Structure formats: C-alpha cells, structure tokens
Amino acid sequence: MVETEGFAGSRIASVIDGLGAVYADIEADQEVWKKASPFHCPSGCGACCVHFEPVVFESEALFMAAWLLHHQAERAQSLMDGTFVPPRNDSDSSCLFFDPSTPWHCTVYGGRALICRLFAYTGDRGKDGLIRWKPCKELGARTQYSQDELLERFGALPPAMSDITARALSLDPDSVHLQVPLREAVRNALYRLVMLKRFASQNEEEDPDKPNPDSPSPLAPQPLAS
Ligand code: SF4
C-alpha cells in the first residue's frame, strides 16, 4: 500500500488507498490468468512502453505521486523543480520513466499507471457482454479468443478492462472527464500532495486541542506531600 502518512483521513488519501486496493485485485486476478494461460511477456521486452506515454486520471497521478514521495523522494523533488533527467534520451515521445538499460525497464513499477497494469493480461467485453482477449502482437499469437474459446482452452478468463476501469473511476467521479499526459499529471499531483502534507502538519501544530507533551497533565500523578 502506498504511504499516505501525513494526510491520512483526507479525501485524497481515501482515493489513493482505494486505487491501491483496485491495483492489488488486478494483480491477484491476473495471477490466476497467468497461471492458466500459456502466454507470457517475453523476458526484458518492454515494447509496450516504447513510443508511448500514458494519459492518466487524477487518481492514478496521485497514487504515483504518493509512491514517488515515499520511495523515490529525490526523484519526486526533481520532477517538481524541473531538474528531472529521464533515463532515456528520446523521452519526449516515450514514457519519461522508461529505462532501456535495465531488464525491468519501468523505474516506477510499484506506482505505475492503470493502463500499465492492464495491458497484455486483461481482456475486454464485446457487444454481447462476454469477455474476449487479444494477445499482444509481441506474443505472435492469433488474433482474438472468445470467452468460450478461452474457457475451453485454458479453463480461465482474464479480468475485463472495462470492469476494472469503472471501479477505479468510481473512486473519484468528479475528475473522470479529464485525462492528462503522465509527466504533467504526476508533477501537478506531487505539488498537491506536498501542499496537503504541509497544511496538515501546520494544522496539527496549531491545533489548540492537541495535547502538549511538555505541559503538566492534570491527570499526572502528583508527588505525595511529606
Ligand atoms: S509508467 Fe512504467 S510501465 Fe507505464 S509506460 Fe511508463 S515505463 Fe512503461
């Protein structure tokens, strides 16, 4: 779960935690499908991140920003102050977090966007409402499997992209009309979270009801008179 310490209890923290739960369920459902299916991404592929930068909803950007602040604080700061150096040279046309020099490529894996989690291991629903699945072209497989074919051949179904997306969007319905390129969205989300943490800590300091550990407590045991 992404760290929301410093703004726990806020609406933004509940969106981030809710999306974390959706992401955990995606992983669990895909695990079932991966075990049943013979199709797996070739080791070190990363083709889906080349010449591609996700456009994201605000909730995804907030999740990634919280993850960056917790796990890669210096990188988060560099994104905010404009000194961030993308790990690849042609980052203008590709995801700014893609690193071609490592076998795993994604440098924000735990905080990555929704589409990054859905691609390759989720299906979609046809007009009849049934799940269908089309393997990534890197897998070199046939065009598309129907739900019946999937069940007959593999005995399992991949999760449906539309079901997951609807669940993710329901966490923050006010912002579903807006998708923004990742680099811009994550920078804005970082500013928001830093401001939120700052306000939360100021409020805590100024809270007159907050007990001061240095003040004598009326309930503290008093020394006995001799
Ligand atoms: S966030 Fe990671 S997985 Fe998603 S496009 Fe960028 S490098 Fe690829």
Please give the distance of CA 195 from its chain centroid, rounded to a whole number.
20
User: Which pLDDT score, from 0 to 100, does residue 89 have?
Assistant: 74
Distance 25 CA to ligand 1 centre (A): 19
pLDDT tens for residues 190-203? 999 999 999 988 88
- The H or E element that residue 62 is part of is helix 58-71
Q: Is 97 in the pocket of ligand 1 (CB under 6 A)?
A: yes
pLDDT for 34-55, tens place per residue? Answer: 999 988 998 888 888 888 999 9
pLDDT at 1 over 70: no
| 153 vs 139: CA distance, rounded Å | 17
For residues 193 and 69, the answer to whether their CB atoms sit within 8 Å is yes
CA 101 to chain centre: 23
Residue 117: band (very low, low, confident or very high) from pLDDT cuts 50, 70, 90: very high
Let me know how long the chain is. Answer: 226
Assess contact for 79 and 61: CB atoms under 8 A: no
Summary mean pLDDT of the chain:
89
The helix-helix angle for 182-206 and 11-36 (nearest 10°) equals: 130
Residue nearest to atom 6 of ligand 1 (CA): 95
The pLDDT assigned to 212 comes to 52
pLDDT in tens, 145-180: 999 999 999 999 999 999 999 999 999 999 888 999
Position 226 scores a pLDDT of: 40
Each domain of the chain, given as residue ranges in start order, spans: 11-206
Ligand 1 binding pocket mutation candidate from 112, 118, 138, 183 (most atoms within 8 A of CB): 112
Model pTM score: 0.87
Q: How far is residue 32's CA from residue 26's CA, in Å, rounded to a whole number? A: 10
- C-alpha separations of 70 from 63, 73, 75, 110, 166 in Å: 11, 6, 10, 11, 27
Mean pLDDT of 1-24: 92
The response to whether residue 108 sits with its C-beta less than 6 Å from ligand 1 reads yes
Considering only residues 78 and 101, tell me which one the structure prediction assigns the higher pLDDT: 78
